[in-house]
Amino acid sequence: MRRRFGQALRIGVSNAGITLVKTSRWGADRAAVVAEHAVADGASGPQVADALRALLAGGSWSRWPASVVVADDLARMWQVTPPPGAARMADLEAAAALRFQQLYGEPASGWQVAGSWDPSRAFTAAALPRHLHDALTGAAAEHRLALVEVVPQFIAGWNRWCHLVAPDAWYGLVHDGVLTFGIPENAGLGAVRAAQVPAGADARWLEAHAAREALRLGVAAPARLQLSGQVPDAWLSGGLTVLGETLAGWTAGAALAATGSRA
Residue 234 three-state SS: helix
DSSP bridge pairs for 150: 68
Tell me how far CA of residue 111 lies from CA of 5, 185, 211, in angstroms. 35, 26, 34
DSSP bridge pairs for 224: 169
Which of 36-50, 140-154, 181-195 ranks highest by mean pLDDT? Answer: 140-154
Spell out the domains of the chain, with CATH numbers in brackets.
Answer: 7-72+130-154 (3.30.420.40), 76-125 (no CATH), 156-258 (3.30.420.40)
- How many other C-beta atoms are found inside a 10 Å radius of the C-beta of residue 159? 15
For residue 40, what pLDDT is reported? 75
pLDDT band at 25 (very low <50, low <70, confident <90, very high): confident
What's the chain's average pLDDT? 91
pLDDT band at 106 (very low <50, low <70, confident <90, very high): very high
d(CA 239, CA 221) in angstroms, rounded, equals 13
pLDDT band at 249 (very low <50, low <70, confident <90, very high): confident
Average pLDDT over residues 84-96: 92
Rounded to two decimals, what is the model's pTM?
Answer: 0.93
Higher pLDDT, 155 or 45: 155
Distance of CA 260 to the CA centre of its chain: 8
Fill in the amino acid letter for 8: A
